[in-house]
Structure 1
Amino acid sequence: MIPEFWGNGIAANPDNYLDEDEFDSSYEGLLRLSERIGDAKPKGVPEHVIHTLPTKPYLMSKARSPDERCTICLSEYEHNDWLRDLPCAHDFHKECIDSWFKNSDKCPICRRSILENKEL
């Protein structure tokens, strides 16, 4: 047993616990809690970092491969659709991946963070 934890530490202090009456698990209550304590960790990718990722038009080839689709929206790429290239060599519709990066910093396919080796 760890004395600091069980003895006189955080767990031993009854003020660190909420009664069931005090705990509001409704959506509104959780939203208020989120506003009060903030995000546990920042989500997504800063917009200035997203704009540093290159874009290119999709040029349809005659020998179209079945994997030539955006794995976010599942639509096949059309001629001249704008794609955004990620450092991991995966690409997606520009609008799809930009929206994805509002909530995640990882490639939807390989889960590699695009923030690796980036200065924020």
Structure 2
Amino acid sequence: MYSKLIAYCSSKKGAVQDYPFGPEPLVMKVGGKMFALLNEQGQQDEANISLKCDPVIAENLREQHKCVLPGYHLNKKHWNTVVINGSLPLADLQAMIDHSYDLVFRSLTKNERESITKNLRVQ
């Protein structure tokens, strides 16, 4: 499932893979801003993905799912870390990635958003 999540993150418009902290984690960015951090070997030797999230939704997800934790080494109000242990279906993880990406993409300036969209049309 880990590789499917990387592929899904990479498929987002303007998404770029980066390793600013060394070989782990893989950081997915759009417009130079992080929207996902993926660790193949997480805290409990399980892969995990950290995603930006609306604070109210973040709390709800933590209450509903044991595998959703406050963001590890991140702002716990705005980030969740999800342990990839099979307890959440791929579709739910993809919806969480979409939400994170959308939050970050919308925070970009209008020029940055248009540049990303324009570059995709040219390719």
Q: Which one has a bigger Cα radius of gyration?
A: 1
Task: Tell me, yes or no, whether TM beats 0.5.
Answer: no
TM-score class normalised by the smaller sequence: under 0.3
Greater helix fraction, Structure 1 or Structure 2: 2
TM-score (norm 2): 0.27
